[in-house]
Amino acid sequence: MNKEKIKIYLKWFIKKLAKWTIKRYQPGVIAITGSVGKTSTKEAIYAVLKNCRSVRATKGNFNNEIGLPLTILGDYQKIESKFFWVKVILISLARLIIKMKYPEILILEYAADKPGDMKYLLEIGWARCRRMLNFSVGRKLWLVRNLKLLNLCLIPALQF
């Protein structure tokens, strides 16, 4: 099997594991997206919540189709050795079977670089409230059209 097929299957499987993990543990999800200010907003929210709640935030560049599920599945900071994926999958499956300690709140950073990215990421982890930072008109329209369907509220960002 070639590397591209393995990557496709891996993305599919970790997406499923992440969705099952959210369903099993039902954490609160705070989603942050937009073209500027995502990381600083995420860090500020994390700084406020970390002393009073069990919280996990997206680390580094883990805000895409592979990184977002990794944040949900564990407190991973980087993709390490070739056995990294085996470790992630085995620990994630064990966490689904055996109730383990899991954060009350996930602070997730959503990066959408190409069409379809946002839809893919939102299929993994929904949030009741989202923070919008410098959204394109097209993305705003998509979210507004789907507000009722998505059971979602939007918090517009202040522009300075």
Cα angle: 143, vertex 61, 86; to 5 degrees:
105
**CA-atom Rg of the chain in angstroms:** 16
Average pLDDT over residues 134-145: 60
pLDDT in tens, 5-50: 988 999 999 999 999 999 999 888 888 877 777 788 888 888 888 8
Q: What is the CATH number of domain 3-156?
A: 3.40.1190.10
The mean-pLDDT minimum among 38-42, 53-57, 110-114 falls in 110-114
pLDDT at 24: 94
pLDDT in tens, 88-101: 999 999 999 999 99
- Is residue 138 very low, low, confident or very high in pLDDT (cuts 50, 70, 90)? low
CA distances from 160 to 16, 34, 39, 128, 137 (A): 39, 15, 16, 25, 19
Rounded-to-integer distance, Cα 143 and Cα 128, Å: 13
